[in-house]
Structure 1
Amino acid sequence: MATPELLNIGERVRQHFAAELASRNYTADAAQQAASAHLADWLERFLSSRKSWLRRHSAGVYIWGDVGRGKSFVMDAFFAAVPIAEKRRVHFHAFLQELQRRMRDYAGQADPLALVAREIARDVRLMCFDEFHVHDIGDAMLLGRMLKVLVDEGVGLVMTSNYKPERLCPNPLYRERFKPVIALIEQRFDICALDGGIDYRQWTNENTVWGRYVWPESKGGQARVQALLDFSENAVTDTTLNVNHHPLKVSAYEGERIWFDFHDLCGQPHSTADYIWIIEQFPQLAISGLNTLAGETEAVRQRFLNLVDIAYDRGVYLILCSEVPMDELAGEKTIDFSRTLSRLRQLKPEAL
């Protein structure tokens, strides 16, 4: 029997979603309302049920849709309304780094991944993943096995993604190995499409601006970046930092502000762990030397996308300085860059 504090959970989630909308003077579209209601109904079933061999409930909810449709807003409102303390909301990249770090604590033992997953399951009853997507097969296999253990241990999972489950791993070289993960999601999760037809991130206002986009660099962009960073004569310039035990060239840094050239930061083989380290140390980040990404390798483009994902999620103040306007940055667009471009459009543009 459900405990008193767990009664009317679905209604609690619905009321909180309505209150969040009212506080922001928003009106939810039909798809957002449906997704919120689906989450509310699932949570009530999940928290009030016991494990049973005769009746297996959905392990979670997988919400997918195009960029800017309000997936993160819906999940944030849902997460805040969940009436339990044993809950976590994590971003894809940050969780991967945590997973790899915790696995090192079990080095030398049988199946460190399963040990970490069960450790997480002891502390967490609900896990929410934002921006779930896969590009690296090593990450894919780690996440896939982790999801299976969490599901088997009874942890509830809610995920948002720009991809339908069958498109989570588009690289044909990896697809066969990733099929069991896709099957797990399709068989054990409620699949909820959120596509209201409007990119709400294009409704940029002063409350959503998270940085600047300055162009063209050749007309004084670097001088403008320096002015925005407000470096003093004590700033360290043209130096090298030791990031995760390997060198990274830096144009300048002072206090919590740092400035990189694009090709030093994204043109070299740096990992998401490197970017997380930088952002944790320097919450004001400037990058100059950007040009159209069409001429860059897939690895360079992917590093840039990962960096923007992490910076956006961690609330960094980002300054980008490019030779081209934002809409020409991508060259040919992919679904991943559409997500990134949607986030970049929340930077305040400065045409010189």
Structure 2
Amino acid sequence: MTDSLCDRRPEPTLERLLADLVPPPRFAQARLENYVPDPAHPSQQEAKERVSAFAAALDRPRGGFLSRLRRRSEAARGIYLDGGFGVGKTHLLTSLFHAVEGEKVYGTFVEYTDLVGALGFQKAVDLLGASRLVCIDEFELDDPGDTLLMTRLIRELSDRGVSIVATSNTLPDALGEGRFAAQDFLREIQAMAERFEVLRIDGEDYRRRDGVAEISALPEQEVREHAAAQDGATLDGFDELLAHLMRVHPSRYGALIDEVAAAHLTGVHGLTHHHDALRFVVLVDRLYDREVPVLLSLAPVGGADADGRAAASEPGDGVLEDLFSAELLRSGYRKKYLRALSRLASLARDGLVLSR
């Protein structure tokens, strides 16, 4: 019987949470030397040079006692890599991680919030405060409570002399814009922003440069047959999976796909509500990090349902269009949704190759 993500109830231990604070498999070999800037966008070369200089500065000898004492009394500054999706921010962040010697941690925004939840704030600060470098990927806010938590965490780690480097699609003083009453948290957000040197990285999505644009779908029967024949495959109905994701904390989506060789989804349709869409975005991110191919089929013909979900133009196969409604794409989460579309298109292409 084919495995199903819906049957999984991941309960990662604290040891597992800590072990996961390293770059994901997709970026295990990312290095500054193999980051290739696009000549059409000089900011990519500039960011590479600045990150290289930052890594070299961190690895310089730390000097004597007075030098260390002075360093502790001064808040450490970090780098904030801002730009669109697919311009190489995560590649640069993981390259920095690999370039720096000594204690260091790497995780997504949601992984750090989960760690704080598991340890308690002060224990998390003490644990992370022993690092020279803390890397935070996907600094995007879905909840105002997380805003306060992470800005305070960054401030306290910085005060301890920990260097912090983060990536995001949103400038630090614009976090939360269009999502919640950001003015209520403006002081906290600005205090965090002052700790960073912002590097803006321009460019095109490299996945599109590689010809990945459409999210390819297969006939449902083909998806089911491939799932049954593939070792390590999972098979789930899209609606059932969305319902299951409501019961699993997003920080556990990585554990949810442990040892999955290929994910198979049937009945995929458009999304119109943020709560479903944002959870699915996190799942797509973890699948992408783990390089898990996705094979999917579309919901059957029949027009839109009561929630306005888009139906497939053909039964099962074709191209997935309008995964996120126009209203969702006009929201403050627009960049996050566009990134997910780009990543899912890449995973679906891998799935298409796997099925042939």
The structure carrying a bigger strand percent of its residues is: 1
| Alignment correspondent of 2:6 | none
The answer as to 2:260 corresponding to 1:258 is no
| Alignment correspondent of 1:320 | 296
User: Which one of the candidate residues 176, 198, 208 is aligned to 1:202?
Assistant: 208
Render the CA deviation track for 1:269-308: whole Å, top value 9, x for unaligned.
2331452332125343222221122xx3221111111211
Which amino acid letter does the alignment assign opposite residue 274 of structure 2? Answer: E
Distance 1:278 1:151, change over 3 A: same
Retained in 1: the 8 A contact 2:288–2:347?
Answer: no
Distance 1:118 1:133, change over 3 A: same
Retained in 2: the 8 A contact 1:117–1:150?
Answer: yes
| Alignment correspondent of 1:230 | 228
Q: Kindly state the Cα deviation for residue 125 of structure 1 after the two structures are TM-superposed.
A: 0.9
Distance 1:152 1:283, change over 3 A: farther
Render the CA deviation track for 1:209-234: whole Å, top value 9, x for unaligned.
9xx95436xxxx221212332348xx
The answer as to 2:145 corresponding to 1:138 is yes
Retained in 1: the 8 A contact 2:295–2:348?
Answer: no
Which amino acid letter does the alignment assign opposite residue 215 of structure 1? Answer: A
| Alignment correspondent of 1:329 | 323
Which amino acid letter does the alignment assign opposite residue 317 of structure 1? Answer: P
| Alignment correspondent of 1:94 | 111
Q: Kindly state the Cα deviation for residue 85 of structure 1 after the two structures are TM-superposed.
A: 2.6
Which amino acid letter does the alignment assign opposite residue 190 of structure 1? Answer: E
| Alignment correspondent of 2:168 | 161
Render the CA deviation track for 1:96-132: whole Å, top value 9, x for unaligned.
333322x2xxxxxxxx30222112212x111111111
| Alignment correspondent of 1:347 | 347
| Alignment correspondent of 2:97 | 79
User: Which one of the candidate residues 38, 44, 47 is aligned to 1:35?
Assistant: 47
Retained in 1: the 8 A contact 2:55–2:96?
Answer: no
Retained in 1: the 8 A contact 2:74–2:159?
Answer: no
Distance 1:317 1:172 in 2: 31
Retained in 2: the 8 A contact 1:213–1:320?
Answer: no
| TM-score, length of structure 2 as denominator length | 0.71
Which amino acid letter does the alignment assign opposite residue 276 of structure 2? Answer: V
* Aligned 1:61-76 pairs, distance under 5 A: 61-76=79-94
Render the CA deviation track for 1:315-334: whole Å, top value 9, x for unaligned.
33333332442343223222
| Alignment correspondent of 1:60 | 78
Distance 2:83 2:325 in 1: 23
Q: Kindly state the Cα deviation for residue 345 of structure 1 after the two structures are TM-superposed.
A: 2.4
Tell me the secondary structure at the aligned position of residue 42 of structure 1. helix
Q: Quick one: higher RCO (CA 8 Å, sep 6+), 1 or 2?
A: 2
Render the CA deviation track for 1:22-65: whole Å, top value 9, x for unaligned.
7xxx7564111111112233344445464538994652100110
Retained in 2: the 8 A contact 1:32–1:74?
Answer: no
Tell me the secondary structure at the aligned position of residue 260 of structure 1. strand
Distance 1:322 1:168, change over 3 A: farther
| TM-score, length of structure 1 as denominator length | 0.72
Retained in 2: the 8 A contact 1:91–1:313?
Answer: no
Retained in 2: the 8 A contact 1:36–1:78?
Answer: no
| Alignment correspondent of 1:285 | 263
| Alignment correspondent of 1:311 | 287
The answer as to 2:128 corresponding to 1:120 is yes
Retained in 1: the 8 A contact 2:220–2:298?
Answer: no
Render the CA deviation track for 1:152-182: whole Å, top value 9, x for unaligned.
1111111111111123213554424532442
Structural RMSD (CA):
3.1
The answer as to 2:186 corresponding to 1:215 is no
Aligned residues: 289
Distance 1:305 1:130, change over 3 A: same
% identical aligned pairs: 24
